[in-house]
């Protein structure tokens, strides 16, 4: 495999932002992934694993170590079990499963990125999350340099969270994910936007639901479409915050009962970050320098053209400060940040 030097990272991200990687390599197999990890270790280089670059903001200074792009391909089917290589395009896998009549991931159509990223942040949308269908995750342990397999129950899945981005962050390189899907299963129609879309005619097929999700995402600028300025982003820029019932009651007392909310576990309440931004003055099409907010979804921060990571960070900080002042909620960014701690 080739180890390239000083490779600009911006083209590898949907944001189109980021300086160069000191070293860059592409792994098409588990052997190559191991070879690259050894290369980095022998030289004392920090390592960053790059999948689809769709949930990533890279610093303007780039990365001083080795960026390893995972490009492995392959879908093996064994009955209702699909073992998928980490480098497969996620949406292509959804299309494949839906075409074969398998339910379980149809609401996750149109999400950019690769399969390997899906267990890391427990990708979810429109009433489904991958934690419901993942049965096993295979990974390279970057400490022992051995391959390990995790059963779903050991992955600590929660909202946008797993073992891989929390307690064991940076320790594993996901190489393969096994999903158990349901042959001829019914599509999931729980999310309000989807129910509305399919109110008439009702009872859509799996393929119709996947197409409907893509159409809704496209409308919101959350589907990667060439030339669509609203999708030069990393999707949702903030997680939807989860607060206590008492905190929510205080907010309702102060701001009225029109605050949209969803129940979360342990009697907590999840609030749409998009609504909080809007109320704090960060509306659709808001601009700060060369960064801004999508014209179709408040939660997507976008690169208006030639934006730097610093432009995006300035907007991020302005939003966090304002939302905190108004609602006493500290928003957490959703995309991965590659750069010095800020």
Catalytic residues: 160, 236, 334
Comparison of 141 and 193: residue with beta carbon closer to ligand EPU:
193
Comparison of 176 and 297: residue with beta carbon closer to ligand EPU:
297
- Least CB distance to ligand EPU at residue 47 (A): 25
Q: Does 248 bind ligand EPU (CB under 6 A)?
A: no
Of 299, 309, 315, 319, which one interacts with ligand EPU (CB under 6 A)?
Answer: 299
Instruction: Name which of residues 182 to 241 contact ligand EPU (CB under 6 A).
Output: 191, 193, 220, 222, 235-236, 239-240
Taking CB under 6 A as the rule, which mask of x and - marks residues 111-150 in contact with ligand EPU?
--------------xx------------------------
- Least CB distance to ligand EPU at residue 111 (A): 7
Instruction: Name which of residues 95 to 114 contact ligand EPU (CB under 6 A).
Output: none
Segment interacting with ligand EPU (CB under 6 A) among 15-23, 26-34, 79-87, 291-299: 291-299
Comparison of 84 and 222: residue with beta carbon closer to ligand EPU:
222
Rounded Cα–Cα distance for residues 90 and 101 (Å): 17
Listed residue (202, 211, 220) closest to 300, CA to CA? 220
Rounded Cα–Cα distance for residues 235 and 125 (Å): 12
Segment interacting with ligand EPU (CB under 6 A) among 95-103, 173-181, 248-256, 296-304: 296-304
Of 46, 170, 260, 289, which one interacts with ligand EPU (CB under 6 A)?
Answer: 260
Q: Is the peptide bond before 285 cis (omega within 30 degrees of 0)?
A: no
- Least CB distance to ligand EPU at residue 207 (A): 19
- Least CB distance to ligand EPU at residue 191 (A): 6
Segment interacting with ligand EPU (CB under 6 A) among 42-50, 64-72, 199-207, 297-305: 297-305
Structure tokens at 59: 């610093």
Q: Does 274 bind ligand EPU (CB under 6 A)?
A: yes
Of 298, 311, 323, 331, which one interacts with ligand EPU (CB under 6 A)?
Answer: 298
Task: Determine the size of the site formed for ligand EPU (CB under 6 A).
Answer: 20
- Least CB distance to ligand EPU at residue 335 (A): 8
Rounded Cα–Cα distance for residues 39 and 331 (Å): 37
State residue 8 phi and psi, 5-degree precision: -60, 135
Rounded Cα–Cα distance for residues 232 and 226 (Å): 10
Q: Do the beta carbons of residue 103 and residue 80 sit within 8 Å?
A: no
Reported residue count of the chain is: 342
Residues paired with 4 in a beta bridge: 24
Q: Does 87 bind ligand EPU (CB under 6 A)?
A: no
Segment interacting with ligand EPU (CB under 6 A) among 2-10, 69-77, 244-252, 270-278: 270-278
Comparison of 236 and 303: residue with beta carbon closer to ligand EPU:
236
| Residue with nearest beta carbon to ligand EPU | 235
Q: What is the contact surface with ligand EPU in residues (CB under 6 A)?
A: 125-126, 191, 193, 220, 222, 235-236, 239-240, 260, 272, 274-275, 278, 284, 297-299, 334
């Amino acid at each position: 495999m080739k180890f390239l030097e000083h490779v600009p990272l911006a083209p590898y991200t949907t944001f189109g932002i980021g300086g160069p990687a000191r070293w860059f390599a592409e792994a098409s197999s588990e052997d190559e992934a191991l070879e690259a990890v050894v290369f980095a270790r022998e030289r004392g280089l920090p390592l960053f694993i790059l999948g689809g670059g769709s949930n990533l903001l890279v610093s303007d200074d780039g990365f001083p170590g080795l960026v390893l792009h995972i490009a492995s391909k392959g879908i093996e089917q064994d009955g209702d079990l699909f073992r998928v290589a980490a480098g497969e395009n996620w949406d292509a896998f959804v299309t494949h499963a839906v075409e074969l009549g398998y339910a379980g991931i149809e609401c996750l159509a149109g999400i950019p990125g690769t399969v390997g990223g899906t267990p890391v942040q427990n990708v979810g949308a429109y009433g489904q999350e991958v934690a419901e269908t993942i049965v096993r995750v295979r990974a390279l342990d970057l400490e022992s340099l051995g391959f390990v397999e995790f059963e779903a129950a050991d992955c600590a899945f929660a909202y946008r969270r797993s073992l891989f981005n929390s307690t064991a962050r940076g320790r594993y390189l996901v190489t393969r994910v096994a999903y158990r899907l349901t042959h001829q299963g019914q599509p999931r129609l729980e999310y309000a936007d989807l129910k509305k879309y399919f109110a008439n005619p009702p009872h859509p097929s799996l393929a119709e639901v996947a197409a409907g999700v893509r159409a809704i995402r496209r409308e919101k600028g959350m589907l990667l479409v060439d030339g669509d300025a609203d999708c030069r982003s990393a999707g949702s820029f903030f997680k939807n915050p989860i607060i206590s019932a008492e905190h929510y009651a205080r907010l309702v007392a102060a701001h009225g009962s029109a605050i949209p909310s969803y129940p979360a576990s342990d009697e907590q309440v999840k609030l749409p970050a998009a609504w909080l931004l809007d109320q704090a003055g960060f509306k659709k099409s808001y601009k700060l320098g060369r960064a801004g907010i999508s014209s179709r979804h408040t939660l997507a921060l976008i690169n208006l053209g030639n934006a730097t990571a610093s432009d995006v960070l300035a907007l991020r900080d302005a939003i966090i400060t304002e939302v905190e002042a108004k609602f006493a909620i500290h928003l957490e960014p959703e995309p991965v940040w590659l750069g010095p701690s800020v």
